[in-house]
A and B are shown apart, each in its own frame.
Chain A
């Protein structure tokens, strides 16, 4: 237990990195995933093929492989200075690459969840939108997607929870986040293993609880009488 209290600043810093990773990747993957989903339901065959190809590639590849590939290939292409900073916080190249890897991977799942939502909106809605003169983009943006998002909140929540836990993989790809701090501490304080594992696990539990709370809140807020 002493280790947790004594090393709290390190653990807190590790979780800061985890949360930043989660926020950035969550945002980017949602944007990419939504665009991909609109590709997959679009009337243009080549866009549909592109969306399907993307989902098949990234959903079928283990995350470790995606990250390993990104981290060993991107710097060799000459991009070894992708770090950026927001305010006083600096993010390294490894953070950026890991964030992109996580985003591209998660986007495939987001895309499928949103597509399932789009398909759950009855065809009559899109037909009605068309009959009042809306084009494909307009009907998707103004009529179908708003209804679809309501249906996809539970699956999206699960995807973000999975993303939160997936961030722990980057501990071996140059990003010192919470799982890295755990391995570091467990090596350093062998006698306090249980406390370290449970302490770090609790940190993840808190993050996941926040995500599901937001999910539940949105679900309640957007619910409509059937």
Chain B
């Protein structure tokens, strides 16, 4: 009991500090850990609940979504909050969650060989991926957008405006390819989004492009210098990855997230993470059925 109280105090102090600092730290939402939840014997949920531990694959380099601050013990972000909600439903405390960094290329192998139990890592649902892994959700719908410097926000508002301008994204990504093939932008490929943001801040590129959710996180880190502009011009539906064929797991994930969406926890999580950039909390998306 005392432990929880201390923790709450620390969280409260941390939260007020972060508010005072105007962004920076992502706050944590209050998630109620289920008390001895019941699951069908033999199911993945029963196993996880029994062991009190879960391994969740997340991104470490996307502010607002899944980001490990230098020196911090655990990552923060919207994906992290979703992970905490799902773990809490299994009766797993925050201490029982092992965060494992995944990059875009190793998400499927990690799920297939059991390195992680679930993946929540800005993992867009696609038919091609659903052939090798299970994907529940979407718990968030975003789309490709543009991140520009504050002084350019009137000049660059639609993807058409980037014709002939230098646009940065990750080498080989579909977002960069779309800018070149459809809008005639000059591609500037880098290996990570943060390098792109550095080049945007120092004025060498004109825009950075990828999923809006990822860009919002960077905008939240530099609220005075960067701005996400325009409407999304593609649709990415973030889902929770699990082992292919585990329908019960899919149902658990969908139901738990639906509850979080209905009771406001989802919105709270959004405000504490992606919402810090000043964007309005959207309506929760409608999730796919598991059948």
Contact = CB atoms under 8 A, between A and B. Distances in A.
A171 B174 contact: no
A190 B173 CA distance: 13
Interface in A169-194: 171-176, 180, 183-184, 186-188, 190
Interface in A93-119: 93-94
A111 B204 CA distance: 32
A75 interface: yes
B186 A75 contact: no
B42 interface: no
- Which of the four size classes fits the interface of chain A? 20 to 34
Contacts of A76: 202
Contacts of A184: 171-172, 176-177
Contact of A93 (B172, B189, B190, B204): B204
Interface stretch (B14-22, B94-102, B191-199, B220-228): B191-199
B172 A174 contact: no
A172 B190 contact: yes
A173 B184 CA distance: 20
Contacts of B128: 190
A72 interface: yes
Given A171-B189, A172-B191, A174-B189, A180 B202 contact: no
Contacts, number: 54
Given A92-B166, A93-B204, A174-B199, A186 B172 contact: yes
B204 A187 contact: no
A173 B202 contact: no
A171 to B, nearest CB: 6
Nearest to B168: A174
Contact of A187 (B168, B174, B187): B174
Q: Which 3 A-B pairs have the closest CB atoms?
A: A183-B172, A172-B191, A75-B202
Interface of A: 71-72, 75-76, 80, 92-94, 171-176, 180, 183-184, 186-188, 190
Given A80-B202, A174-B204, A184-B171, 10 more contacts: A75-B204, A76-B202, A92-B188, A172-B171, A176-B188, A183-B172, A183-B189, A187-B172, A188-B174, A188-B177
